Amino acid sequence: MTRYLPPAAFGVFLLLAWEAAVRGAGVPAYIMPGPVAVLAALVNNAPDLLAGLAVTLEVTFAALALAVATGVLIAVALAASPVAERTFFPYAVFLQVTPIVTVAPFIIIWVSNIFAVLLILAWMAAVFPIISNTLLGLKSVDRNLKDLFRLYGASRAQTLWKLSLPSCLPYFLGGLRISGGLALIGTVVAEMVAGTSGTRSGLAGRLLEASYRLELATAFACFALLSASGLGIYALLQWLSRRLLRHWHESARDEQS
Amino acid sequence: MTLSAVSLRGVAKTFSSGTEALAPTDLDIADGSFVAIVGPSGCGKSTLLRMIAGLAEATAGEVQRGDGAVGFVFQSPTLMPWATARENCALPLALTGSGSDAGDALARVGLAGFEGAYPHELSGGMQMRVSIARAMVTRPRLLLMDEPFAALDELTRFKLNDDLLTLWKQNRWTVVFVTHSIREAVFLAERVVVLSPRPGRIVADIAVALPDRAPGARLSHAFTDQCARVSAALEGAA
Ligand SMILES: Nc1ncnc2c1ncn2[C@@H]1O[C@H](COP(=O)(O)OP(=O)(O)OP(=O)(O)O)[C@@H](O)[C@H]1O
Ligand SMILES: [Mg+2]
């Protein structure tokens, strides 16, 4: 418990200082709302904002799931042959270094379904860490264990399922934790670029709308929800990773156990 | 003449890097015998063992192996960290679909009660014993061991040496045992093959005649004499 006390206390201090500064200086709410006003906006617009959050998270998790499925498949394919890796990995890097805002206009022209547009862009943002980490893991399998599998005449499928995939799990999970955050960032950026609006729009779209209308308290509420979602996704993936690795990997072991 | 479990005819290995690891070698290992291979570091002992197991290709000559399963014990425990002792030990069964009970094999190396433990919950010596149990689980005719006890303290090493001899006497498998330790080789094996520095050549093939290998035998004069012979052969080659 005492672990969480200092950061929580600091957070409360920041909020109090913010509120005091806004009130003391008499800044109008359309320039800079205080935390109380933001909280009020959050509560008053709760149904609307939560609907937006649901849309954003739906895209985020769909993109993450797609990134996991395709990323692992691509990594397995690339690990299977050095020629394949040399041929295709540069294109995965290309995917990574290209800012998705620059690709968005094309995708929007080519794909009419807005959900699909957001999904593609968020997937582009999220897939690379999965590919590169899983590939590294697949290539780091213990040589002696590989020999052991050969000695007992294991098939390629057996070696993949019982040796390669389990031993790359820590690497994969490391990539997943990065991708989780990137999927959310990708979704938010895509929503802003695609300019979604109306009832089916995500939280980022609503943030933009609110700021255009100078409803800064509502915009801040959107921002707070998005940040909290990012933290939540990270915590979720961290928990998942510790759970899956707790029996065997150094990174998930309790220090004193 | 007994049947050969392993027969090498002119077997040599040169790596693609150009390193000549093993010079052409002839070696016959009788079925049911316990042979130790000693030699300086880098002389090709591991390479030789891997070629016997079929894990490495000989660049010249012919490797022949008798029928039956092969067990291999690596220098490090080489366990899957995500699997329990029992699952690790049962791996050969899962892959080949035949063999004895993993729990039974663990009990034979004194690890009854640790079936559910993960490798990190076991000491180095216990991990090594899991590895030995795994090699035994398919009831191999031929057991290949690459410096299996090198990383252990002397006391644990003696204990595992005694256990290994007991198991060998019970099962009468063929054992090829690579080691750096002259004393270990002489204590365990009926025959000690001495290799020269790289590229490895057989410079001596010494039959060890020790009346009994009770734990106390390590202090007898006969034992020290045999060690001196092996030692002289090693130094003569250097
Ligand atoms: N995969 C490889 N590629 C190139 N050279 C290798 C390879 N494996 C081993 N060698 C070389 O072959 C020689 C013999 O290696 P090996 O591992 O058989 O030695 P060793 O006798 O087992 O040594 P140690 O007692 O230190 O384990 C060494 O000089 C080593 O550098
Ligand atoms: Mg070696």
The whole-number pLDDT of residue A199 equals 59
Q: Which residue has the higher pLDDT, B66 or A74?
A: A74
pLDDT of A217 higher than 80: yes
Average pLDDT, rounded, for chain A = 91
Confidence of residue A220 (pLDDT cuts 50, 70, 90): very high
The whole-number pLDDT of residue A198 equals 60
Confidence of residue B222 (pLDDT cuts 50, 70, 90): confident
B44 within ligand 1 shell (Cβ under 6 A)? yes
Most confident by average pLDDT, A243-252, B84-93, B202-211:
B84-93
B170 within ligand 1 shell (Cβ under 6 A)? no
Average pLDDT, rounded, for chain B = 89
Question: In CATH terms, is domain A34-245 a member of 1.10.3720.10?
Answer: yes
- Please enumerate residues of A whose Cβ is less than 8 A from a Cβ of B: 142, 144-145, 147-154, 158, 162-163, 166-167, 169, 247-249, 253
B50 within ligand 1 shell (Cβ under 6 A)? no
Distance from the A147 Cα atom to the nearest Cα atom in chain B, whole angstroms = 7
Site from B95, B137, B144 to mutate, A interface, most A CB atoms within 10 angstroms? B95
CB B64 within 8 A of CB B205: no
Alpha-carbon gap, residue A187 to A207, rounded angstroms: 13
Q: Is B96 close to A167, i.e. CB distance below 8 A?
A: no
Instruction: Give residue-wise pLDDT tens across range A160-181.
Output: 999 999 999 999 999 999 999 9
Alpha helices in chain B (DSSP H): 45-53, 85-89, 91-96, 102-108, 124-136, 154-171, 182-188, 221-237
As residues whose CB is below 5 A from the ion ligand 2, the structure lists B 46
By CA distance, what is B76's nearest residue in A?
A144
Describe the strand order of the beta sheet including B20-30 as a list of residue ranges.
Answer: B20-30, B4-14, B60-65
List strand residue ranges (DSSP E) for A50-149, in order: none
Q: Is A144 close to B94, i.e. CB distance below 8 A?
A: no
- Tell me the mean pLDDT in the region B159-185: 89
Burial class (CB in 10 A: 0-12, 13-18, 19+), B24: middle
| Domain coordinates in residue numbering, chain A | 34-245
Alpha-carbon gap, residue A56 to A203, rounded angstroms: 6
- Tell me the mean pLDDT in the region A82-93: 91
Describe the strand order of the beta sheet including B174-179 as a list of residue ranges.
Answer: B70-73, B142-146, B174-179, B34-38, B191-195, B202-207
Alpha-carbon gap, residue B199 to B238, rounded angstroms: 12
